[in-house]
Structure 1
Amino acid sequence: MIAPLPPNEAERLAKLRSYNILDSLTEEEYDDLTYVASAVCGAPVSMISFIDQERQWYKSTRGIDPNLRQTPREIAFCAHTILDPTQPTVVEDMRKDPRFADNPFVAEDPHAVFYAGVPIVSDDGFALGTICVIDLQPRTLSEEQVEVLRKLSRQAWKLIELRQTAQQSKELLKQRVTAYRELTDFSYIIAHDLKAPLRNIMQACTLLEEDLGDKLGEDEKKLLEIITSRAYDARNLVNGVLRYSRATRGLLDSVGEVDLPELVAHAGEQVGLSEGVTLCYVGEVEKIRTSRIALLQILQNLIGNAVKFRRPEAPCAVTVDCRRTDLAYHFTVADQGVGIPEKLLKSVFDLFYTTGNTREGEHHGVGLTIVQRLVSELGGEVKVSSVVGEGTTFSFTLRDAE
């Protein structure tokens, strides 16, 4: 007998297909459920199947050819089970049941006899498929065995939900990564295209001042100073965007063993340590597996920040430390500079934020934002502590890259 369609068949099929489980690969978690079903019920065959429009598709099977992934719906035992989402279907001898007696799997090879199935039901009541056991001889199940099948069906549903949640999270992450890359590329292009007109404005201001300086009134001179100042500010912002875009594009792709004392020394060379500035690595860790380029960028920004905000006419000592715990590598970059007021500590990682004036054109307010971004991408976090007049310590953690 061919099972009739459930009254909510269209909605049921839509629900089933929304989970994208049909034709998916086998998964160990589902195989564990069919293993338990066979073991508890003492049945040689067990299945987790889903009833599609014209087929019964197997997510997991035990005791049959593993290459058999589907059968026509018209001969599916479980097509009868999904008609009542609230009840199991237990048939001790299908040869005596009019629903199954003429089924080719009963009347012919393999001559199935016993069947017990429990619907796999969604939270809103749709029977999407079943977990079932089959035997080639008559048998009965105890109430406890039937209850185990019920619990296994609920676990199957939880696995379906978790699978969908994982897929959605993966897709959202993919979309975020794509959006971030597109935004970074867009900001890079816009900032790059703005450099030429800003350069022209600055050159024009310089020419006006050189050619007409004596002929300009006080108001005109003040206006020219404002234009020049704003042009320099805009140039610094554009340079900051470009620097941020370059620093966060592709730096995490290259992972390998990094020699920390050598990298710290190289970061100091890149920064360009001036007279009176000393840089020392005092860490216990010699080597770490991570992105060399990203860690170099982090150290360059932190060391450069210490040099920029050194105390005037005072020696500047910058120390870099790294220690290993069970969970992560802990870095510190400490200086004896001017320090940062406590009320400003929460803002230092904001894009384009600066804590004070530095030499014109040298500071874009993006260095610490780059540090925070790269540390986060490497699986860690960065913090800052400071005492005005005594110095600042930046600390960050990194995980060992796989």
Structure 2
Amino acid sequence: MQAPSYTLQEDLRQQAVDSYHIVDTEPEEQFDNLTELAIQICGVQHALLTFLDKDRNWYKSNNNVPFTEAPRSLSFCGHLIHNPHDIMIVEDARKDIRFHDNPIVTELKSVVFYLGVPILSEDGFAIGTLCIFDDKPRQLSDSQIASMKLLGKQAEYLLNHRKHKLNQSNIHKKLERTNDMLSEFAAVASHDLKLPIASIITTADIIKTKYKTKLGKDGQDRLNLIKDCSFTINEYITGMLDMYTSEHGIQKSFETINIKAFFDNLLKINLTSQKCQFWLPTETHVINSNKIALTQIFTNLFSNAVKYNDKDNCIISVNVTENKSHYKFTVTDNGPGIEKSNYKEIFKLFKTASETDNRGKKGNGIGLSIVKKLVKKLNGEISVTSEFGKFTTFTFTVEKPTTLTIN
């Protein structure tokens, strides 16, 4: 008997096997179908989909075979992988010098005829075989041999598809872990940074009060600048925390929302809304959506509309409609408007349409990027139309939960 030797690039070949994460996994129907089809086409007793793993030949699909592996030193497949681009046919193993005294042939008497098709990895290494065998000599037709080659290619396709799907799943899990770590870091950093900022603001107020007569106007102005900068940093930190945690609400369940009650409650907790008139839907309208996400979307849109409004009478109007698959919302304000060239820019992180808001403070450009992120997560779209100096309308859609699939 001639035991199969290891390949010249065995380390690389084994790495290719390991990259598929398939050895010692449970049977899968798609592979069992291939070996069953091989038996039906060729009229043989047995078929295997095997992987040459270190010192063993492991069977992913073992059709009509009562065990799942065999020593690599006894395997026919171990010889095949040395010629990764050719099939191997043994019509009568009892007459082949490589196998005539192999225990599989002489003792088990299970393999006399053998045909193996090499299974190649994406980088060209022979990682296993699709093989058929029988306990008596056989000869296959050209069409049967061609069919086995096609089944081998199909096995490669299924293996690569499985590998890519598994890799994507692993990447997704890593991203989820990274996102969780970022969210946790953002929360801790936010807390740890806000405390000293609050101390700075409080200290500035104490100094202004205690040393008012000694500071003079210049000193007072500098303390006011310190306070303004501190408030700006605080808003920035809050915005970044919202950015990292905005997806958390998407994981919550959907619920029935009465639109009128929703906006009534929203305006009660949004103090900036007192500076504007709100024209809201008056009819009874009930939707089924993600309340947490919608609250954050409208809070950010309302906040921007109020902060940047330059009119004596601030007006914000809201409209809600729906079709078979989506809810549609519009938010219009009578503020300064947005230049058409900025329509896409305003949804990018740290981008703003105006240099400063109506208090003279520079915005951080986080709110609208969060809005777009949440709308996209709800399988919707958002757009803006505006007439510079007169109005701005944000229109966004949210997919109904009967059809929504969160990615």
Give the TM interval when normalised to the shorter protein: 0.7 to 0.9
**Corresponding residue for 1:186?**
185
| 1:2-401 correspondence runs (5 A) | 2-8=2-8, 9-65=10-66, 68-109=67-108, 111-248=110-247, 250-259=248-257, 261=259, 263=262, 266-271=265-270, 274=274, 276-280=277-281, 286-288=286-288, 291-306=290-305, 311-313=311-313, 315-325=315-325, 329-338=326-335, 339-354=337-352, 355=354, 356-358=356-358, 365-388=365-388, 389-398=390-399, 400=401, 401=404
**Deviation of the 1:136 alpha carbon:** 3.3
**Deviation of the 1:45 alpha carbon:** 1.8
Distance in structure 2 (CA, Å) of the matches to 1:137 and 1:266: 82
**Deviation of the 1:49 alpha carbon:** 0.3
Counting aligned pairs with the same residue, the percent is 31
Comparing 40-49 with 211-220, greater Cα deviation is found at 211-220
Gapped regions of structure 1 (runs ≥ 5): none
Q: What SS does structure 2 have at the residue aligned with 1:4? A: coil
Q: What SS does structure 2 have at the residue aligned with 1:348? A: helix
Is the Cα contact below 8 Å between 1:253 and 1:291 reproduced in 2? no
Aligned letter for 1:95? R
CA pair 365-201 structure 1, distance change in 2 beyond 3 A? same
Aligned letter for 1:98? I
**Deviation of the 1:267 alpha carbon:** 4.0
**Deviation of the 1:392 alpha carbon:** 1.0
Is the Cα contact below 8 Å between 1:256 and 1:291 reproduced in 2? yes
Aligned letter for 1:335? T
CA pair 322-304 structure 1, distance change in 2 beyond 3 A? farther
CA RMSD of aligned residues (A): 3.1
**Deviation of the 1:246 alpha carbon:** 4.9
Q: TM-score, normalised by structure 2?
A: 0.84
Comparing 294-303 with 126-135, greater Cα deviation is found at 294-303
Gapped regions of structure 2 (runs ≥ 5): none
CA pair 357-124 structure 1, distance change in 2 beyond 3 A? closer
Q: TM-score, normalised by structure 1?
A: 0.85
Is the Cα contact below 8 Å between 1:264 and 1:299 reproduced in 2? no
CA pair 236-280 structure 1, distance change in 2 beyond 3 A? same
Distance in structure 2 (CA, Å) of the matches to 1:283 and 1:94: 82
Distance in structure 1 (CA, Å) of the matches to 2:144 and 2:316: 76
Distance in structure 1 (CA, Å) of the matches to 2:149 and 2:400: 43
User: Cα deviations across residues 219-249 of structure 1 (Å, max 9, x unaligned)?
Assistant: 434433322322222222233334445544x
**Deviation of the 1:269 alpha carbon:** 4.9
